[in-house]
Amino acid sequence: MGPEHVAYGMRASYGLPYVTEDLVVAWERELASPNSNELTALAGVLWCSPSELLGKPRTLREHRIARGLAPEDVARTVGHELVAYLGMEENDDWQGTDRQSAALADVLGLTLPDFITVTGRDRTLGELLRSAVSTRWQAYVRPVGKMVPLDRRLLEDVLQELHQDYQGQMTATLSWGDAGSDSSAAGREFLDRIVERFWAKVGGSTA
């Protein structure tokens, strides 16, 4: 199907008269993003599910659409006014109590890493982990544990392993000679992916 066929199907079958070939092309080139209704219609025309079009969801809105839920259903389940919930989706800024957060994770089927990302805690977690591997990891068991509800022993093991990996990599790089730029680049790459490395360690320890 060409863009013109997709646009026609969305106009004729889903009552979206403003959808043009140019708009479909903009979606394909990631110059624009379809809203919830448009994504549902697009999936219908292409005979697939919204989740197949999204790939791996990352935002609150993408997780909701991937589960095939209307915003009012999620808002009602978590105990938020619809307008307030839609604002959180629009701004990627989840604001909820512990009870509401637990309800959100349940209704959207979020894994722990997904939950941390959706609620906007990736950045803070990354800052804590970078400090843990570059200084004394023991001092960060409690603050990381408050954010990520894992068994304390598991958390201690993961932080210690990350610390050892980082320190070992830095020591090895420095011993190669031409220390400065190589060491700095290796260190930045490790720290830039620290959250990804953390979840990989957690997954490997619980597998």
Start-to-end C-alpha separation, the chain: 43
Give dist(CA 111, CA 118) in Å, integer: 10
In a shared domain, residues 138 and 192: yes
Give dist(CA 173, CA 186) in Å, integer: 8
In a shared domain, residues 138 and 172: yes
Q: What is the pLDDT of residues 76-101, one digit of tens each?
A: 999 999 999 999 888 888 888 889 98
In a shared domain, residues 15 and 76: no
In a shared domain, residues 157 and 196: yes
Tell me which residue of 1, 47, 56, 48 sits closest to 24, measured CA to CA.
1
Contact between 110 and 118 under an 8 Å Cβ cutoff? The reply is yes
**Number of structural domains found in the chain:** 3
CATH number of the domain enclosing 112 = 1.10.260
pTM of the entire structure?
A: 0.66
In a shared domain, residues 174 and 126: yes
Give residue 181's pLDDT. Answer: 53
In a shared domain, residues 102 and 114: yes
Q: Is the pLDDT of residue 178 over 60?
A: no
For 41, how many CA atoms within 13 A lie in the half-sphere containing its CB?
20
In a shared domain, residues 106 and 155: no
In a shared domain, residues 32 and 88: no
In a shared domain, residues 43 and 60: no
In a shared domain, residues 13 and 73: no
In a shared domain, residues 145 and 104: no
Phi, psi at residue 205, to the nearest 5°? -80, -25
Q: What's the one-letter identity of residue 175?
A: S
Domain assignment of residue 170, given as a range = 122-206
Give residue 92's pLDDT. Answer: 80
Give residue 79's pLDDT. Answer: 93
Give dist(CA 144, CA 147) in Å, integer: 5
In a shared domain, residues 139 and 193: yes
Give dist(CA 139, CA 133) in Å, integer: 11
Give dist(CA 46, CA 42) in Å, integer: 6
